[in-house]
Amino acid sequence: MCITAQLQESSIINLICGLDQEYTIQLATDWADGEARFTEKSSHSHTGFIGMGSSKHGIYARFEGKEYVLTQPLETTLDGNYVEEVLGAEFKLLYQCDRFKSEFDKYAQAEGMSGIPDFYSNFKGAIFGELHGTKLSNSCIVPYRMFLATPLLPTKIKIHKFTGNDLLGDADLDDGLTMAIHAFTHFLLMYSYDYMIFRDLQGMLWFKAGTMCLIDPQAHT
């Protein structure tokens, strides 16, 4: 979903997704305090700061009654157009992972394959959007107008890594899920006529759904 958002004084963001329909998203306003606590290795679980990786941090948000993590770059002095390009590319990769997984499933079904462990990408419900009016009480709520929001997964579940940046890694022959994801990676290379291959595939086993959710995929072309 691509949207335009406007920040209100109540820390509620009104998302305009059409001419006659309005949506709202709630954004945590204490995330910066949580990030500072995280950096100091203090407790931050009571704040809206979700966590950070090597280049991005996550902020707690709610949209249509569902929990989200809103993502923006850690570096606060980047050019806005560059941020839009980076987050847009990440959104595109989530979409591609989702669509290629559908093609992988169709191929497996056509070939009469069964018993393949299921997995999916965290694309369904993802939002690539733009904020307007990001000031609240003379302080900046978020550093950039562009954002990427994905459905929030449990934060205490360990991330399982299936492939690296340059190496696919050694599949555990007793691990059907790892073998399935490696087969998916190989399928994409063949399906795209050697044009594209996913790398750095990792995810969380979402016990509520009983399915592995792949997050933040990267790709070589």
Residue 41, pLDDT score: 92
Domain ranges of the chain: 2-155
pLDDT band at residue 69 under the 50/70/90 scheme: very high
Residue 145, pLDDT score: 85
pLDDT band at residue 126 under the 50/70/90 scheme: very high
Q: Cα–Cα distances in Å, from 171 out to 162, 166, 177?
A: 8, 15, 9
Mean local confidence (pLDDT), 193-213: 80
DSSP-derived 3-state class of residue 46: coil
Stated pTM of the model: 0.83
Instruction: Residue 107: name the closest of 161, 183, 206 by CA.
Output: 183
| Per-residue pLDDT at 138 exceeds 50 | no
| Per-residue pLDDT at 75 exceeds 90 | yes
Instruction: Residue 203: name the closest of 98, 106, 99, 115 by CA.
Output: 98
| Per-residue pLDDT at 173 exceeds 60 | no
